[in-house]
Structure 1
Amino acid sequence: MSAALDSSDATTSPLYVRSVAKAFAVLKAFDGGHRSMSLSEIAAAVDMTKSAAQRFTYTLGALGLLYQDPASRRWQLTPRTLDIGTSYLAADSLIEQATPYLVELNHRCGESVNLSRPDGLDMVFVARFTSHARAFVHMPVGTRIPMFCTASGRAYLSSQPPSQAANFIQASTLHAFTAHTLTNADEILTHVAESGPRGFATASEEFYLGDLNIAAPILAADGSSLGAVNVSCPTSRWTLERMVAEIAPLLIQTVRRISGGPSARQREQISR
């Protein structure tokens, strides 16, 4: 798995199977805002004809990935669509290596602790241990968060060569999710550059209002980043300054213990 930006267009290869891509596009069209859809809605969402949508939904239904309500005739995902994601979670040795340390960090700080992996311009939560108090943001495993405005993303970018980090930021859509989101590329890269020497990155209410984050990269033997661990705290209980003082040392200790395991080096060799 790699988060590197790739300028080549794999879709032009004769090995590229467009029907497979379209089938995944149909599945991905279902989300929180489109929990069920008619054939016409699916066709519009995926930019295909209604007859094509009918063939794809029938096939995906036969595979048990989609279900059609007999009364409304609307389609929706089934729990079987979780199989691929569950297989990934079971197969990723970084999750297995990190989990005991993430649980310990969660117990010591009492707040939500997340492990994320890079994918494109985002970080994806692959493990999550929620706050002992009430958590006000629901971010399940599989949630994608943009690199440019999150502590996890900045921590990951801080381990990359400056030119590569700049490429990621330039390729990102610098959208303001809140009034606090940094959208100036130079300012973001300054935050990234400052994160490297101190070992952690921060983000204050940039993706969600009331949410403070601190994160550190998990490093492979060669110094490259395999992912990031972040701690999320609400502004109702914490300030960023207090997080830096109290949680940053625990966080840095945690990622060093994860990075230092022999399986971390084995994982990096396998990924190459």
Structure 2
Amino acid sequence: MNDIAPSPPQPARQLTLTATVGIALATFVVGLLIAGLVVWRMIPAQPVPEPQAAAPATKVIVAPPVASDPASLSARQQMLAAELAALEQRTAAVTGEAANSYGNATRAEGMMIAFAARRAIDRGSSLGYIEQQLRDRFGTTRPNEVAAIIDAGRNPITVEDLRLGLDQIGSQLALGPAGDGWGGSFVRMLGSLVVIHPRNAPSPVPGERLARIRRFLALGQVEAAVEEVKRLPGAAQSKAWLDGAQRYIATRQALDTLEAAALQGNAAAPAPARR
């Protein structure tokens, strides 16, 4: 016989392990339930929204009835007529100011063109684009003056040209025509040595007249120079010089006329630009 006691049966040990696992799971589940209950109590309860009050009804403004009696209608018509008259006055004032501004601008532009033409003529240079500006601004109202200025721009003559021309014909002007020979010229020269004239009158001696003519040209007084040349013995031989001097005078008179027209606002407005 064996003395060794038999080992305890295995089913008892398995039961003990199963009970232990079950207890652990039950404890875990109970812990989760407790934690969930705590969290649920910590969340604040959402307030139940109260029902909104109905919006107040919009008030409808009822316009007072328009008076229909004759006195009220007459007063209203007078008020409207006064407002209309005031509006017309303001409109007329604005229109007048705009017209004045436009007129001043047109006047200034016309004067600038006339001054530019004078400056070119005085220098003896071509007018260039100023020709068309003169036609546009003054061609309708001052056609003769415009034509004279344009011709002077294409065939210029200056005071310096007149002075040089006078130097070339000075001796002929002083001695007179050479058709009657040197004897006639000598006699006229001797006659000019002794001349009786009033004390306050300019000397008629040809040499002194020539000196005065040169002074007049230096001062731009071409009209006075022309009058002195006409009184010299050889005035008949100065036709070409006198024609040039007359063209010079006519051109300046035309420029004066255009400047006066521009100053008075008689220059035409510029034509609209072509597109």
In the superposition, the TM-score normalised over structure 2's length comes to 0.20
Relative to its length, the structure with more helix (as a share) is: 2
Relative contact order higher in (CA < 8 Å, ≥ 6 apart): 2
In the superposition, the TM-score normalised over structure 1's length comes to 0.20
